[in-house]
Structures are given as structure tokens and as C-alpha cells.
Amino acid sequence: MHWTAIRRVSIGGAKNFVRSGAVSFATVLIMTVTLGIIAALIFLSGLLNYTLVTIRNKVDISVYFVTTAASSDILALKHRLEQLPQVASITYTSRDQALADFRARHANDQLTLQALDELGTNPLDASLSIQAKDPSQYSSIANFLSTGPALSASGVSIIDRVNYQQNKTVIDRLSFAMHTVQQVGAAIVLLFALASVTIAFATIRLAIYTSRDEIAVMRLVGASNAYIRGPFIVAGVIAGLIAAAVVLLLLLPASWYVGQMTTDWFGGFNFFTYYVDNLGLIFLILFGSGLVLGGAASFLAIRRYLTV
């Protein structure tokens, strides 16, 4: 199509959208609901990811060292572990820090503190707290520690114990839960996406049905399929973009209100903060979805009317 034809089709589509009145309003309303569902899925995905990351960050395995282990040997092992591709982070706790933490936890338990003072020495071990990039990778880290025990400069192992076996049940359950949630989440997104497309298609098809006589006349006088289809696609795109703008504006007060009410319920996840931090991505998804949904639904809905 030449520029003049494109201009006419665009103007025609805008006029059709305005002239349709109630039908255009109904189309925008349905597409607003459709895009609202898509927006809800975006927030649900953000909440699930936040929850999974939070749970994953609370799971680790700890390596405890014999009390005679030198700090230099422990730090050397820490450096070796950090080279493993499975390791996300490692936290080193010295014997002195472990003792200080123990005293802080039992600040109100004078009997325990008194017993500790009577020992005259620090009975606590230095440790490394290891977090993997994925829960399924803890097994390989534990195997590394068991098959290649850390040795001191004198060739003696400095590892006292590794608590992987105690945490293995929790780690395995977390790995299974994350995998299941990801699969279920993908299925829900696909289901709602298909439902949204079906609803939008049916609504736009109804709008085109009201213009079936006009389409038939244009076809009879020789108008091309592209020229007939163009204004309806433009009208569908306009409806989709308006619906996206409405949803984007409604999300501002809605996310703020929900965020104020539910942040404590979801372990610190704030819907309003998520909305602000991901505004660009949400904007692109909603307007892209509105553009594609309105244009594609109009393209498909008018096909049956392009034969005389």
C-alpha cells in the first residue's frame, strides 16, 4: 500500500472507531479486562519469583571446621569453593564471631552464659555458609567437600562436619517445589492468554459483524482485501492501545492500595514497588499486547467477510 492509501486507511480506521460508539466502547472494555488479566499475571509472576528467591536464600549448607584450623587454611578453602560454578555466595564466620553471635542470642540466658564463661575457652567452630545458585546443585558441592577434603598446610583435614545430610530433605523439597511452581505458573499464563485472545477475538468479531453490509459493498465495487481489512485493523489497534493505557493508569492506585495492605502477608513483597521498578517492562508488555491483540484479532475476525 502506498503512503496515501495508508493515510486513508488510518483515518478510516479512526473514524470507524469513533463512529461505532457503543461497540467501540464495549471492545475497549473487554480488552481492558483482557489486559488487566495479563497485568495480574505479570504481578503474580513477580510474586512467585520473589517468594522462590526468598526461600532459596534461606537454604544453605554449612561447613564446620576443627577448632585447631588456621584462618588461612579456611580462607584458602573458601577461595577454592568460590571457583565452583555452582556456588552463588559464601559467608565466613570465625570462631570469635561465632562466640559473639552465640552470646548475643543468649543474652537473656544467664545460666548458659555462666557455663560458657566457666569453660575458659571458646568451644565454637569457625564455619562457611554456602549458598548454591540452584538448590539442585547442593549435592555436587557436598560431593566436592567429601571427595576432596580440605587439608591444612600439614596435610591434615580441617573439616569437622558438613550439615548437607541434615538439610538434604528440605533442599530436595525446595527443588521440587520450584520446578512445580514454574511449570504450573507457565500453564496458568498460557491458559489465561488463550482465554484473553478468545474473548478479544469474539468482541472484535461482533464489532465487524455490524459492518458486514458495508464490507460486502466495498468488496463488490472492487476494493482490495488489504484496503477493506486496514480500517478494522486500525480500529482494533486503537482499542488495544486505549485499553493498555487505561490498565496502566489503573495499576498505579491499585498497586499502591494492594501494596499497603499485603506487604506483610507476602514476606516483604510490595506490589507498588514492583510496579514502579518494572514500569518500563510492564508498559512494553501491555502496549505490545494491546497492539498485537487488537490487530491480530481484527485481522482474523474479518477474514470470513472478504468473500462475496
Domain regions of the chain by residue span = 3-55+175-305, 59-166
Instruction: Say which residue the cell 525446595 belongs to.
Output: 174
Residue 98, all three cell numbers:
561465632
pLDDT at 106: 79
pLDDT at 110 over 70: yes
Strand order in the sheet with 159-162: 87-93, 127-132, 61-65, 159-162
Tens of pLDDT, residue by residue over 196-235, are 667 767 776 776 776 677 777 777 777 676 777 777 778 7
What's at 243, amino acid-wise? Answer: A
Residue with cell 527443588: 175
At 238, list the grid cell: 486503537
Average pLDDT, integer, range 116-133: 82
Residue 137 has pLDDT above 80, yes or no: yes
- Of the CATH numbers 3.30.70.3040, 3.40.140.10, 3.30.460.20, 1.20.1250.20, which one belongs to the domain with range 59-166? 3.30.70.3040
Among residues 9, 5, 3, the alpha carbon closest in space to that of 295 is found at 9
Q: How far apart are CA 236 and CA 246, in angstroms?
A: 15
Which residue is listed with cell 526468598? Answer: 54
pLDDT (average), residues 179-198: 72
> Residue 24's closest CA among 34, 38, 14, 33?
14
Percent of the chain surpassing pLDDT 70? 81
